Amino acid sequence: MSATVTYKCPNCGAGLVFDAEKQSFSCDFCISSFTEDELRLSGADKRAEEAERAEDEFRSELREYHCDSCGAEILTDKSTVADFCYYCHNPIVLSDRVSGAFRPTKIIPFKFDKDEAKKIFRDYCKKKWFLPKDYFSPEHSDKICGIYYPFWVVDADSSAGMNAKARKVRSWRQGNYRYTETSHYAITRRANIHFEDISSSAISTEDKAMLEGILPYPTDEYLDFSIPYLQGYQAKKRDLSREDLTEDVRGKMTSYAESLLSSTVVGYSSVDSKSTSVSVEKSHWEYALTPIWILNYMRKGKNYLYAMNGSTGKIYGELPVSIPKLAILGGLVSLAVGIVSFLIGWGML
């Protein structure tokens, strides 16, 4: 069995967690807080050396929690206690050592703590009239869970080209006749394009709409990965390699390149038959963890997912609808229509 790594408070020895609001590591016991540099410098008892070894042995220092109810798998550091599955809210148990996980190189820490995430969720619900009452109850919002999701982030230098056909149409009248002149053009564009921070989900089974819905993440928020940032949070393991996502990333580059090159084609009546190609000359891939607050709601066998970008606060929501509330609204509308019809019939309007 490999050694457990716990980041302890230099003042009292209690466990530390990462405080998203303060952007520091806090001790709930003695109310102390430390920056990452202060935490590294405080290792008189060789905790700093243990941390370095833990990062080098990232695979062996994490465990996989498995939900027997819905099959979800969540990667966490050993100090994290997972008392419910964020998919189905059933208890989950610790399984064998995780396999196939790789150490990330970058991470964006959480900017919102759980209390602030719950407040943002409740404020979001106040604007939605037809939600079931229990959806925005304190008991439900308390189940919101902070999870790091894995992404591949790519920078690349490329040469791109676009070929297209264009037309210019000119019409004029001369005497009793109208003339139309159509000119055809072959359009060629070439450019060297640098792509920065193209993000692709590193999980094959996740809700793509949700992950795309909360993008982008600020490029200047990425930090070098350090295990202490996982303290108090969960993290999903990746199951997609660089090779698995090569075509997806190339497709995004091609789409971006076509949009960029098309913006330079102006002054024509129409442009069509576009053909765009991208040749990647150099690329740099980094495996990164990004923060998401997740809340699931089960209603009549359907799962409704609420997610919030843990850095920007951008929200993605699949919302349930309360049928009784809709029925009440329908009744009120019918009543109002009936009253207006009655008044019109009696000549009062």
Domain carrying residue 278: 155-195+244-285
Burial level of 22, CB count in 10 A (0-12/13-18/19+)?
Answer: exposed
Asked if 263 and 151 touch (Cβ cutoff 8 Å), the reply is no
CA distances from 208 to 67, 204, 212 (A): 21, 9, 6
pLDDT of residue 86: 57
The reported pLDDT for the residue numbered 115 is 93
Please check whether residue 331 lies inside any domain of the structure: no
Flag whether the pTM goes above 0.85.
no
Q: Give the C-alpha distances (Å, rounded to integers) separating 243 from 75, 154, 202, 240.
A: 22, 13, 11, 8
Does residue 72 form part of some domain?
no
- Give the separation between CA 245 and CA 208, rounded to whole angstroms: 14
Residue 271 lies in a domain: yes
In a domain, 166, yes or no: yes
For every one of its 349 residues, what pLDDT tens digit does the chain have, with 9 covering 90 and above? 334 445 677 876 667 788 888 888 887 766 778 888 787 776 634 554 555 565 555 655 566 666 667 776 666 554 343 344 656 665 444 433 233 446 788 999 999 999 999 999 988 888 776 687 777 788 888 889 898 888 999 999 999 999 999 999 999 998 889 999 999 999 999 999 999 999 999 888 777 788 888 989 998 999 998 877 877 788 787 888 888 999 999 999 999 999 999 999 999 999 987 899 999 999 999 999 999 999 988 877 788 889 999 999 999 988 775 445 444 445 444 555 555 554 555 555 5
| 3 state SS of 277 | strand
Phi-psi region at 331: left, alpha or beta (left = phi > 0; alpha = psi -120 to 50):
alpha
Q: What angle do CA 331, 334, 337 make, to 5 degrees?
A: 150
Flag whether 339 is in a domain.
no
* Confidence at residue 53, expressed as pLDDT on a 0 to 100 scale: 61
Count up the domains in the chain and report the number.
1
**C-alpha–C-alpha distance, residues 307 and 316, integer Å:** 5
Whether 211 is in a domain gets the answer no
Return the pLDDT at 342.
Answer: 46
Residue position matching structure tokens 């200047």: 220
Tokens (6 digits) for 121: 């969720």
Does 176 fall in a domain?
yes
Quick one: pLDDT at residue 108?
95
Nearest to 152 by CA among 193, 200, 106: 200
Kindly report the number of other CB atoms within 10 A of residue 61's CB atom: 21
CA gyration radius, the chain: 28
Asked, for residue 221, whether it belongs to a domain, the answer is no
